[in-house]
């Protein structure tokens, strides 16, 4: 936390601003005080996000969505004004550390504390799912620890503010190591994805390390999809079994949040007396310098599934006008909480200071025995699993998150690329191509592109300048020319997915310094080339001249007459290749929420 800067506002709406909690690419977050004296977190959106008129509408929809969530372990948005010159939102200010910080400072939790944590988080997910939301970024830094239980933060509102494809962030929806396999592969993301993430969070709390180890992003994503999680260090058999079930590769095999609560009931009944400790008075805690989350990953609103006759709808009280929301079939109704159940979760942890929670949440203090040592810091080494198979169709995934080196790791299919003239930006930054010689090439083909073959390529791209020539982000070489091109077309001043002589053209104007998600879909049997820009199909053309490209898969340029050309000037990240034609819904998942 720091003092207000000269260009910071002194107030927003009726809220007086006291200090700055953090800032990022999407906005600034302040500690504020309401007219009645309540401490709040106030987020003010950066003005550049308003360049696209759709942003306000999406922001407004997400305010309504977040207000539909209610529960003991979530918190609603207090106030928001999407129509202000600079849109803003207000959420609760929460005293308590993140789970990430608590484990770093105190080490792994004892099993009964983890079970109590699991109960609170499962109840939070049930509330979120009942409002037809999927969190999509449950991780230790998004779990705050308050005196009366955990709080889940960064959902609903931050989907539009921090992750919408309109903002041009170009970020994958999720956090490496805490993502579900379907998030990595771009498959449909449902409530079961949150349960997988819950399993990683619980394993982290129980052991102090991620169940898929540590390392580069590409390595983590590969292990999430292919390797069995390492949960051997979880000492309690019942807890280990619960975590393993949450981490099932097949979403259909994961327990629903209400099932988790039912399993925890008999396991954690004694945790109240074991975990209750004294906590310093609230006035002793002051905000720490931990930045507020302003770069959160989008939360996806999902349509309500058909109600199950076995599980009637759950009523959800909103922060706005009273409303009811039918619960998804897999979210079971919650019985009114009794005092005993709440006290069992009021376990405490002595430790660091107060945090500002933007989105949902306030936090809780976990207690563990005083002799808990620090995490050992040694990463587990997940062993390959013989049963999980790669997500359907994904044959290549290059996050391009390396910090250095001449190899671009493939997290999916083992097609690592050789790097020439690329400047690495580190995690989340992508790879910068100079437009004259930069390229990444695999040793051989990744896709089969001949007649009748279907495939999909996708990438986040950002032009440094709008070039006067063609600029190709992804291609695959053949003897004479590339078999396909995902590119900027200077002839048309637009994005294109092309074969030699054929182009499916976009409608969204190309601009420098704007992240854009491109996906090219070749439907072999239908003989169609389709271009998607930011998850929306913008162009389609007959594929009358399919080319069988048997050369290298290339990021950053194309080839013509056997020579490299059409080098890309700008940044590329999260390149994916599929051996099938993806449908519109799955392409939207790749690009983020629609």
Highest mean pLDDT range out of 136-150, 212-226, 262-276, 538-552? Answer: 538-552
Q: What is the pLDDT of residue 359?
A: 35
Q: For a pLDDT cut of 70, what percent of the chain falls above it?
A: 72
Rg of the chain over Cα atoms, rounded to whole angstroms, equals 24
In tens, the pLDDT along 55-67 reads 788 778 767 777 7
Instruction: Give the least confident one: 248-257, 320-329, 564-573.
Output: 320-329
Q: Which residues of 244-261 are buried (b: 16+ CB within 10 A; e: fewer)?
A: bbbbbbebeebbbbbbbb
Which is higher by pLDDT, 374 or 460?
Answer: 460
Q: Residue 446: pLDDT above 60?
A: yes
Instruction: Give the least confident one: 145-154, 430-439, 471-480, 556-565.
Output: 145-154
Residue from 417, 398, 484, 496 nearest 449 by CA = 484
Q: What is the pLDDT of residue 296?
A: 40
Q: Residue 352: pLDDT above 70?
A: no
Q: Residue 299: pLDDT above 70?
A: no
Please tell me which residue in 83, 137, 376, 491 is annotated as part of the active site.
137
Residue from 4, 360, 64 nearest 12 by CA = 4
* CB-facing half-sphere around the CA of 265: CA atoms within 13 A: 7
* CB-facing half-sphere around the CA of 542: CA atoms within 13 A: 2
Confidence category of residue 370, pLDDT binned at 50, 70, 90 = very low
Which is higher by pLDDT, 62 or 181?
Answer: 181
In tens, the pLDDT along 232-270 reads 999 999 999 999 999 999 999 999 999 999 999 865 544
Residue from 343, 205, 206 nearest 273 by CA = 343
Distance CA 488, CA 566 (A): 9
**How confident is the model over 299-310, as a mean pLDDT?**
41
Q: Residue 41: pLDDT above 90?
A: no
Q: Residue 147: pLDDT above 90?
A: no
Give the domains, in start order, of the chain with CATH numbers: 11-356 (1.10.510.10), 394-591 (2.60.120.200)
Distances in Å between the alpha carbon of 497 and those of 457, 549, 574, 594? 9, 15, 17, 21
The answer to whether 417 and 440 have CB atoms below 8 angstroms apart is yes
Q: For a pLDDT cut of 90, what percent of the chain falls above it?
A: 47
Confidence category of residue 158, pLDDT binned at 50, 70, 90 = very low
In tens, the pLDDT along 9-37 reads 999 999 999 998 777 656 788 999 999 99
SS3 of 242-296: HHHHHCCCCHHHCCCHHHHHHHHHHHCCCHHHHHCCCCCCHHHCCECCCCCCCCC
Pairing outcome for strands 79-81 and 88-94: antiparallel
Pairing outcome for strands 553-555 and 439-442: antiparallel
Confidence category of residue 441, pLDDT binned at 50, 70, 90 = very high
Instruction: Give the least confident one: 4-18, 232-246, 380-394, 415-429.
Output: 380-394
The answer to whether 531 and 484 have CB atoms below 8 angstroms apart is no
CB atoms within 10 A of CB 232: 11
* The two three-digit tokens of residue 128, written as one number: 């979120």
Distances in Å between the alpha carbon of 317 and those of 18, 99, 165, 258, 301? 31, 28, 30, 19, 18
Q: What is the pLDDT of residue 368?
A: 36
Annotated active-site residue 371? The verdict is no
Average pLDDT, the chain: 77
Distance CA 99, CA 113 (A): 12
Distance CA 435, CA 140 (A): 39
Residue from 110, 140, 111, 123 nearest 341 by CA = 123
**How confident is the model over 157-180, as a mean pLDDT?**
52
Instruction: Give the least confident one: 154-163, 479-488, 544-553.
Output: 154-163
Distance CA 165, CA 170 (A): 7
Q: What is the pLDDT of residue 25?
A: 56
SS3 of 324-370: CCCCCCCCCCCCCCCHHHHHHCCCCCCCCCEEECCCCCCCCCCCCCC
* The two three-digit tokens of residue 45, written as one number: 């959106």
Confidence category of residue 76, pLDDT binned at 50, 70, 90 = low
Confidence category of residue 6, pLDDT binned at 50, 70, 90 = confident
Q: What is the pLDDT of residue 24?
A: 60
């Amino acid at each position: 936390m720091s003092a207000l800067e000269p260009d910071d506002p002194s107030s927003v709406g009726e809220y007086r601003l006291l200090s700055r909690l953090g800032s990022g690419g999407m906005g600034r977050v302040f500690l504020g005080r309401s007219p009645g004296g309540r401490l709040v977190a106030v987020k003010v959106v950066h003005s550049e996000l308003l360049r696209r008129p759709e942003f306000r509408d999406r922001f407004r929809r997400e305010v309504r969505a977040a207000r539909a969530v209610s529960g003991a372990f979530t918190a609603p948005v207090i106030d928001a004004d999407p129509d202000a010159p600079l849109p803003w939102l207000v959420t609760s200010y929460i005293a308590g550390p993140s789970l990430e910080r608590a484990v770093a400072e105190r080490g792994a939790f004892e099993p009964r504390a983890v079970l109590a944590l699991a109960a609170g988080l499962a109840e939070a997910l049930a509330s979120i799912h009942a409002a037809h939301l999927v969190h999509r970024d449950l991780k230790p830094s998004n779990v705050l620890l308050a005196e009366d239980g955990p709080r889940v933060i960064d959902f609903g509102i931050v989907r539009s503010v921090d992750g919408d494809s309109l903002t041009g962030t170009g970020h994958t929806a999720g956090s490496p190591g805490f993502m579900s396999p379907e998030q990595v592969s771009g498959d449909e993301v449902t409530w079961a994805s949150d349960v997988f993430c819950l399993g990683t969070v619980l394993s982290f709390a129980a052991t102090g390390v991620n169940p898929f180890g540590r390392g580069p992003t590409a390595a983590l994503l590969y292990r999430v999809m292919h390797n069995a999680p390492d949960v051997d260090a979880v000492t309690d058999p019942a807890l280990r079994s619960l975590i393993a079930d949450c981490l099932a590769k097949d979403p259909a095999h994961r327990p629903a949040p209400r099932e988790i609560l039912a399993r925890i009931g008999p396991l954690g009944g004694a945790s109240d007396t074991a975990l209750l400790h004294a906590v310093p008075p609230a006035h002793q805690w002051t905000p720490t310098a931990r930045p507020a989350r302003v770069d959160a990953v989008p939360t996806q609103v999902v349509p309500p599934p058909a109600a199950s006759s076995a599980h009637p709808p759950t009523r959800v009280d909103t922060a706005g006008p009273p409303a009811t929301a039918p619960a998804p079939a897999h979210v079971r109704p919650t019985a009114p909480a009794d005092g005993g159940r709440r006290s069992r979760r009021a376990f405490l942890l002595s430790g660091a200071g107060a945090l500002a929670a933007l989105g949902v949440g306030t936090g809780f203090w976990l207690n563990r025995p005083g002799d808990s040592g620090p995490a050992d810091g040694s990463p587990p080494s997940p062993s390959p699993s013989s049963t999980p198979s790669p997500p359907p169709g994904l044959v290549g995934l290059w996050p391009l998150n390396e910090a250095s080196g001449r190899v671009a790791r493939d997290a999916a299919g083992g097609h690592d690329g050789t790097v020439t003239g690329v400047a690495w930006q580190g995690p989340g930054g992508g790879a910068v191509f100079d437009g004259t010689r930069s390229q990444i090439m695999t040793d051989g083909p990744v896709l089969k592109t001949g007649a009748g073959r279907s495939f999909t390529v996708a990438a986040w791209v950002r032009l440094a300048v709008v070039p006067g020539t063609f600029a190709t982000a992804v291609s695959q070489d053949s003897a004479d020319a590339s078999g396909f091109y995902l590119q900027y077309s200077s002839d048309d001043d637009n994005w294109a997915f092309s074969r030699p002589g054929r182009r499916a053209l976009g409608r969204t104007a190309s601009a420098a310094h704007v992240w854009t998600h491109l996906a090219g879909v070749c439907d072999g049997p239908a003989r169609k080339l389709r271009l998607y820009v930011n998850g929306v199909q913008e162009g389609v053309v007959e594929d009358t001249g399919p080319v069988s490209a048997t050369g290298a898969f290339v990021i950053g340029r194309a080839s013509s007459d056997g020579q490299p050309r059409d080098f890309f000037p700008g940044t590329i990240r999260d390149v994916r290749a599929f051996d099938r034609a993806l449908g519109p819904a799955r392409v939207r998942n790749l690009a983020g929420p629609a």
